[in-house]
Amino acid sequence: MPDEKRREELQRLRQLPTQELIKELEETKKELFLTRAQIATFSQTNVARVKTLKKKVARILTILRERELLGIE
């Protein structure tokens, strides 16, 4: 089941225009920062969320790099 969710999320990200993908990247990085701060202050107990967000950032960066290499805007 989680694999299906990942595939759907990846497909959704690939369909986004580059500008929206960059915006999604900024929002995800911001959320990652806030989650780390919450964990440090013990107001957040879901430490696995950091791993999930880091992977999402990596996926977005990978898609952006693929587009850069293919010359797609």
- What is d(CA 39, CA 34) in angstroms, rounded to the nearest whole number? 9
Q: In this structure, is residue 11 part of a structural domain?
A: no
Number of domains in the chain: 1
Residue 9 lies in a domain: no
Q: pLDDT digits over 45-59, tens only?
A: 889 999 999 999 999
DSSP letter at 46?
-
Which pLDDT band, with edges at 50, 70 and 90, does 73 fall under? low
pTM of the predicted structure, to 2 decimals: 0.88
| Residues 6 or more apart in contact with residue 72 via CB below 8 angstroms | 18
The answer to whether position 44 is within a domain reads yes
Residue 3 within any structural domain of the chain: no
Task: Report the Cα–Cα distance between both ends of the chain, in Å, rounded.
Answer: 32
Q: Which domain holds residue 64?
A: 23-73
